[in-house]
Amino acid sequence: MLIRSLLCTLLVCAAAHAQPLNPPVRLVVVLVVDQMVPDYFHRYGDLYQGGLARLARDGTVFDRAYHDQSCTLTGPGHATLSTGALPARHGIVGNYWFERAAGREVYSCADSTSPVVGHPELNGVSPARLEASTFAELLRKQMPGSRVVSMALKDRAAVLMAGRKADLVLWLEEVPGRMVTSRWYSDTLPGWVTEFQPSLVRYADSVWTKLLPDSAYRRSGPDHSLHEHGGTQSTFPHACNPEEGTLSVKYFEELYIHPYGDQLILELAQRAVDSMKLGLGPHADLLLIGCSAADGTGHVYGPDSHEVQDYYLRLDRWLGEFFDHLDSAVGQNRWLAALSSDHGVLSLPEVDAARGVASERVLTDTVKAQIEQLSAAVSTQWGVQLEALRVDGGLAFKANAWDSGGAWQQAVLDLAARVRTLDWVADVYTRPELANPETPVRPYLRLFQNAYHDQRGPDLFIREHERVIVTSGKSGTTHGSPYSYDTHVPLILMGPGIPAVHVTDSVRTVDLAPTLCDLLGVSRDASFDGASLADRLR
């Protein structure tokens, strides 16, 4: 143990003296494209001609980058990328989770003490539940002149990328249809953000059509599918405002599904560069951009759809325009870009089945009925009232069954054994198994241990069989599993002094934050679970 501590200390000290990039950069742009998988660079790469093409051509591409955790969701993914820590350390174990002290489910960024500026009727938002420091926080602490700006459609994306210290954090609230922040960060919005607000309704009278001729989309299969968007809105064109003639919350909800939501975020990011003169100061500034609409498009239409292909063709062009603007406003050799994703996604089970790949959709109503039946049987057998709540990743119990001991604990173990017999379940991991590092190794145990938090999350963690998803309806798809289609994500860095190469060694998303520290000369501490990749970039 002593030797291990000394080694850790030596590694931290060595990291503190890592050589930064030369010439130094003055702006770091981190792009997190929600639900992006590396295959999109191969599948559509010959059609790219803008920013995605530039990243693939001029950057260091890590072909085998993985989230080393079971909870492949938006909140945990963004927090892992920003902190360089695993969920077990940074504490964001889901978008929502069961909080044992409160005895109820909570939202990852909920904070009643941090109301939304100008809209006290909305739920407060902050990074208070994040338990690790972000790269942005380390940068601000060691280089006080650095500025940090973070923005996305989703609040949890913008907040968890930035962490506790930022000059500006923005996200979209469908009601009232505005970009907002919370009092955690500021009491007011800058004038240039207020001036941008009318741009949000630009597409209220527009229709989403394909960017390229139909022939370019044949690689994505048929446009129509009964399992896309409820089977009723699965083909192009798509109205951007479902309620024509009326500007309602429906329009702003559609911004999470159509690509134009992320176009607006990239335009807002460009306004931030110009208005705040990011990249022109004595220290490096940090601009964090979450492309959240990619997730909505993927959920509703699936990764093999014409809609997802069109989204990435448009993102490629918009990123190209954004990068060109950075070349002009900041300088070609003065900025660095990093691109990754919070998680991947599974194909629609019906699309997999048509390919001859075993896949299954299980309805939440079916799961609820099965769990209730098993809980009732176990409660009767052991003489306890075991009320199981399905939460992100598994089952939680309002009564603290593990600490109650005796019949309660036996009932939970019995329920775990019975849940394992369900045909859609591959395994169930209990809290004691995940808390104990000596638990005998079995498939995916480590990824669940990396997402285990003593006070947060389920009592029983459920792993579905590979290529099985649980959804509320018979259309769309999702993510959240420990399998490679959800954990394998892009990781690309591009900037001055960074070579245009592909790295085939396996790396982890927790490696991004320590890498950025080394590239900028920011001293690392012992909070990182990842290792710097800086040596592979020189």
The Cα–Cα gap between 460 and 448 comes to: 11
The Cα–Cα gap between 157 and 185 comes to: 15
The Cα–Cα gap between 313 and 48 comes to: 6
Q: Domain 2-353+491-537 - what CATH class?
A: alpha beta
Q: Which amino acid is at 337?
A: A
DSSP string, 257-304: TSTHHHHHHHHHHHHHHHHHTTT-SSS-EEEEEEETHHHHHHHHH-TT
For the chain, the C-alpha Rg in angstroms (whole number) is 23
Average pLDDT over residues 148-163: 98
Q: Is the pLDDT of residue 5 over 60?
A: no
The helix (run of H) or strand (run of E) holding residue 388 is strand 388-391
- Chain segment 268-295, per-residue pLDDT in tens: 999 999 999 999 999 999 999 999 999 9
Average pLDDT over residues 362-371: 96
490 touches 343 (CB < 8 A): no
State pTM to two decimals. 0.95
- Chain segment 453-502, per-residue pLDDT in tens: 999 999 999 999 999 999 999 999 999 999 999 999 999 999 999 999 99
Q: Is the pLDDT of residue 11 over 70?
A: no
Please name which of 263, 242, 244, 250 lies closest in space to residue 310, comparing C-alpha atoms. 263
Q: Is the pLDDT of residue 18 over 60?
A: no
The domain made up of 360-466 has a fold known as Gyrase A; domain 2 (3.30.1360)
Q: What is the structure's pLDDT at 537?
A: 87
Cβ atoms within 10 Å, residue 31: 24
The Cα–Cα gap between 526 and 138 comes to: 12
DSSP string, 161-211: HH-S--SEEEEEETTTTEEE-BTTT-SS--HHHHHHGGGGGTTTT-EE--S
Q: For strand 148-152 and strand 488-489, is the pairing parallel, antiparallel, or unpaired?
A: unpaired
The Cα–Cα gap between 316 and 511 comes to: 25
- Chain segment 97-111, per-residue pLDDT in tens: 999 888 899 999 999
Pairwise pLDDT comparison (271 vs 15), residue with the higher score: 271
According to DSSP, residue 34 is labeled T
- Chain segment 120-134, per-residue pLDDT in tens: 999 999 999 999 999
- Chain segment 207-264, per-residue pLDDT in tens: 999 999 999 999 998 898 889 998 788 999 999 998 877 888 999 999 999 999 999 9
The helix (run of H) or strand (run of E) holding residue 250 is helix 249-254
> Residues with Cβ < 8 Å from 354, sequence gap 6 or more?
none
537 touches 156 (CB < 8 A): no
Q: What is the structure's pLDDT at 265?
A: 98
Q: Is the pLDDT of residue 515 over 70?
A: yes
Distance of CA 370 to the CA centre of its chain: 30
**Could you give the 3-state DSSP secondary structure of residue 430?**
strand
Q: What is the structure's pLDDT at 74?
A: 98
Structure tokens that stand for 507 in this block: 């790396």
Strand partners, 64: 506
**Could you give the 3-state DSSP secondary structure of residue 444?**
coil
The Cα–Cα gap between 243 and 130 comes to: 38
252 touches 172 (CB < 8 A): yes
Please name which of 361, 359, 360, 434 lies closest in space to residue 394, comparing C-alpha atoms. 434
Please name which of 437, 426, 435 lies closest in space to residue 402, comparing C-alpha atoms. 435
> Residues with Cβ < 8 Å from 425, sequence gap 6 or more?
419, 462, 463, 464, 465
344 touches 72 (CB < 8 A): yes
Instruction: Measure the CA angle with vertex 260, ends 56 and 183; round to 5°.
Output: 100
The Cα–Cα gap between 492 and 494 comes to: 7
The Cα–Cα gap between 272 and 150 comes to: 10
The Cα–Cα gap between 447 and 426 comes to: 15
**Could you give the 3-state DSSP secondary structure of residue 456?**
strand
Q: Is the pLDDT of residue 37 over 90?
A: yes
Cβ atoms within 10 Å, residue 525: 12
pLDDT grade for 409, boundaries at 50, 70 and 90:
confident
516 touches 359 (CB < 8 A): no
Average pLDDT over residues 391-395: 91
The Cα–Cα gap between 270 and 187 comes to: 23
386 touches 397 (CB < 8 A): yes
Domain boundaries, the chain: 2-353+491-537, 360-466
The helix (run of H) or strand (run of E) holding residue 504 is strand 502-508
Q: Is the pLDDT of residue 13 over 60?
A: no
